[in-house]
Chain A
Amino acid sequence: MAKKVDFDTPALSEYLQIPVLQEGSMAHSSPFVAKPDHQEALNFPGELVENWHDQAIAKMEDLSKTSRSFSLFLDICVHCGSCTDKCHYFLGTADPKNMPVARQELLRSVYRRYFTFAGKYFPNLVGAKDLTRETLDEWHSYFHQCSECRRCSVFCPYGIDTAEITMAARDILDAVGYGQKYDNEILGKVLKIGNNLGLPGPALKATLEDLEEDLEDDTDLPIRMPLNEKGADVLLITPSADFFAEPHIDGLLGYAKVFHQAGISWTMSDYASEGANFGMFIGNYPTMKKVAERIRTAALELGVKRVIVGECGHAWRVAYSFWNTLAGTGHGAAADDKYAQMLQKQLDPRYPAPQHIIEFTYDLLQRNALKIDKSANDHRTVTFHDSCNVARGTGMGGIERGQFILPREVIKAVVNNYVEMDSSTMFEETYCCGGGGGLLTDDLMELRVKGAMPRMNALKKVFDDEGVDTLAAICAICKSQFSKVLPFYDMPMDMITSVHQLVGDALVFENND
């Protein structure tokens, strides 16, 4: 259980320091355990099962048959140490178990013991360990100190991705009835109601109507926020945080303005009113598939030709990399693949499926289809944070490195003052915000603040030296996390901004009707 602890915010420095190891410094950090109803809603046992030992081993056996990365990554690590200083949680906490290879080792030691010759007969030699009740507690703690950001996989000579190991470990914990409350409770809501907030259809409708009024007050134009409109061209799938949280909501208003000016008919869906898919965070394929299938169902029912995804990092990873696999939401299924063909026949082949809102806006900007007044953002000096899932888990624009190029091009098209943070903390080497991967919960506040340190370090430099006052991002989790942790590092919480707020602010509407 997470204890209430006082903690010190890590100090920022000119150059990022690799800390001296402090063993056990984060051993107390563990998120709340899922309640039986959270677990059962996802078909996991309600509480820790009696034969957890055998169940866990059986689950590992199962994983080694269904996912190559599981046994491959556990087999081939050579303990070279290349990844040891690459994790923001290690850099921020100094706990050696937050070094990626040491995190993997928590699972690897058990895998070795039960599944390898060396571990069965020479456990001490290869660091193999029996699975005990304490092991499960340690897993619950340290596999919830990984945001599945994949930064370590960039630097591993074999591409070993600790995120895959974390997902597997969480899947095992869920299978024995020892899940995490925050993630599983949210998944229950999306599967029952359609979004992570548990906001039912009528409430969503009312919210959107309020927003339409705000837009009308602001622009004198009837800019719409359509819901469940059959026959629209575009289905917009956006994280539900966009409906109520700051600064997310201004991003949503930005999308609406872009759609309005482009004159493209679009709609949202209350059945699929969630872009986020926490099924990825818990590494559970069937759950992830169920959440993704809601979007497929909505797209089929509404008869849309395109699916566009709003600003959300892991949602974009799931959409870009997994939707086609999970629900056939993409292109290029085999002719005899009936399941996928059903939707793919309906989607317009001229557009990528799914498409990111940044790709959509970028395309309009390229064609000069938007009227922009950059000076509307002249009171700002903007920097952009590459969200880890976008950077290391997706692409944009159909070109290599598009996920870095397109957002910057969009920002530069609507903003005059743009500054880049230190490149060793950006692009595919970007540091996580500290709150990704299903950790955005108050019971992990210490971890979140400490894990944000490397990003804050780079941000503070441009904040002090270049007068940056706006941090733009395209991830709902990054936005929430930054508004929480910025004050710990003496920066204003409201400097975090949606990219589409910048776009929306710069759009010029000539009121000639």
Chain B
Amino acid sequence: MLTGLFAILFYVATVILVVGVAKRIAAYWRTPAPLKIPTMPAPRTQGGMLYRMGREVVLFESLFRSNKWIWIFGWVFHMALFLVLLRHGRYFQESPWFLTEIVQPFGKYGGIAMVAGLGGLWARRFLVERIRYISTPSDHLMLLLLIGIGMSGVMMTFVAHTDIVALKHFMTGLMVFDWKPLPADPVLIAHLSLVIILMVVFPISKLMHAPGIFFSPTRNQIDDSREKRHIAPWAAEMEK
């Protein structure tokens, strides 16, 4: 029963996540940026642009320049999330990949750092008047959802261990359409349910910032407007 339900939910959520995100990305991809609008000063080469984008994605450079509090909470949360995700690789691979192996010890504490970062971000939504003003209910719910995922994960790591061998069988089984029983541990069930919700809301929410940043013309364009003519297909039509 439980196994079947979660197996189906995971399939549905995966389809929604993949198709939903792909559709949004396709729309961004297809839609031209009609004008050159990099936020200057901007790199003058492709390599320079990749370096700028890299600093933005890995270090959150613009955020750092702007506000150290948002930066520290946001950066810690995202980097911890990254570690935790890598660590979760072990549930999907028969024999874990070396990176998955390496992060195991740190990844363990990643969960705690993640929840701490999220807590800081949430506190700002109450404590800082300007951020309180711009926060919508969905902003709060999103943080609640992530904190719920983080807390239930941390619980299973440090307090009430779940049967991870059985879990691994369930997950690897899912991937080859061979259903193995899912352990009926309430904390695990809560954890997985919240993850499924996250997967479903991803393509219809602000979480799209993750793929979206790569398409942001103010960050991914190069300062070469005088040397190369940039023109959108619909604009070129106006010249015929």
Contacts and interface: CB of A to CB of B under 8 A. Distances in A.
Given A66-B34, A66-B232, A333-B229, A78 B209 contact: yes
B39 to A, nearest CB: 5
A321 B37 contact: yes
A75 B229 contact: no
Contacts of A428: 39-41
A289 B231 CA distance: 12
A352 B215 CA distance: 29
Interface stretch (A193-201, A240-248, A386-394): A386-394
A328 interface: yes
B32 interface: yes
A401 B34 contact: no
Nearest to B130: A84
Interface stretch (B66-74, B88-96, B144-152, B188-196): B66-74
B34 A99 contact: no
Interface stretch (A123-131, A367-375, A479-487): A123-131
A428 B218 CA distance: 14
Nearest to A341: B229
Interface stretch (B101-109, B112-120, B132-140): B132-140
Nearest to A389: B40
A359 B164 CA distance: 66
B66 A83 contact: yes
A20 interface: yes
Contacts of A164: 37
A225 to B, nearest CB: 27
Contact of A125 (B24, B60, B141, B239): B141
Given A79-B139, A80-B74, A96-B130, A118 B205 contact: yes
Contacts of A150: 39
A353 B229 CA distance: 11
Interface stretch (B6-14, B179-187, B219-227): B219-227
A189 B226 CA distance: 28
| Contact-residue bracket for chain A | 35 or more
Interface in B35-60: 35-37, 39-44, 48, 56, 60
A260 to B, nearest CB: 27
B70 A395 contact: no
B208 A75 contact: yes
B27 A71 contact: yes
B39 A153 contact: yes
A321 B130 contact: no
A338 B75 CA distance: 49
A403 B42 CA distance: 11
Nearest to A120: B204
Contact of B37 (A21, A69, A391): A69
Contacts of B228: 324, 331-332
Interface of A: 18, 20-21, 64-69, 71-73, 75-86, 96, 99, 101-102, 105, 116-118, 122, 124-127, 150, 153-161, 164, 285-286, 289, 320-322, 324-325, 328, 330-334, 337, 339-340, 352-354, 391-395, 398-401, 403-404, 428
25 contacts: A67-B31, A77-B206, A81-B130, A126-B136, A126-B138, A127-B138, A150-B39, A153-B218, A154-B39, A155-B67, A157-B63, A159-B56, A159-B217, A160-B216, A160-B218, A161-B39, A285-B34, A320-B226, A325-B35, A328-B229, A331-B226, A331-B228, A391-B40, A395-B40, A395-B223
Given A69-B216, A153-B39, 20 more contacts: A64-B31, A66-B31, A68-B33, A68-B215, A78-B139, A81-B67, A127-B137, A155-B62, A158-B216, A161-B218, A164-B37, A325-B36, A331-B229, A332-B228, A332-B229, A333-B229, A353-B226, A395-B44, A400-B41, A428-B40
